[in-house]
């Protein structure tokens, strides 16, 4: 995601930040990035229905979030689950 003037969401990309179905309920500002992402991974692993929904809705799609590209993000977890197998 970008706030730069003229930036547009790529066609077919899915926004997965906090206000969406796919948002991480574990806050980075409270837990730190590593712990928040780890908890999200555990959350997704503990909910097979949600993981199946992620595979169905997100497989092969680009995911958009506000996290820095060079740091861990729950979108990385979603990509791994959505594109597994």
Chain center to CA of 14 = 9
Q: Could you tell me the sign of the dihedral formed by the alpha carbons of 50, 54, 57, 62, in that order? A: positive
Task: Give residue 69's pLDDT.
Answer: 87
Question: Does residue 16 lie in a domain region?
Answer: no
Question: Does residue 28 lie in a domain region?
Answer: yes
Question: Does residue 11 lie in a domain region?
Answer: no
Task: Give residue 84's pLDDT.
Answer: 86
Q: Which pLDDT band holds residue 55 (cuts at 50, 70, 90)?
A: very high
Number of domains in the chain: 1
Question: Does residue 71 lie in a domain region?
Answer: yes
Reported pTM: 0.86
């Amino acid at each position: 995601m970008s706030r730069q003037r003229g930036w547009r969401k790529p066609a077919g990309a899915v926004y997965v930040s906090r206000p969406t179905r796919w948002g991480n309920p574990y806050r980075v500002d409270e837990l730190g990035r590593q712990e928040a992402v780890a908890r999200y991974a555990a959350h997704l692993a503990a909910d097979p229905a949600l993981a199946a929904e992620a595979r169905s809705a997100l497989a092969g799609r680009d995911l958009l979030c506000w996290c820095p590209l060079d740091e861990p993000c729950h979108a990385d977890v979603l990509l791994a689950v959505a594109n597994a197998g």
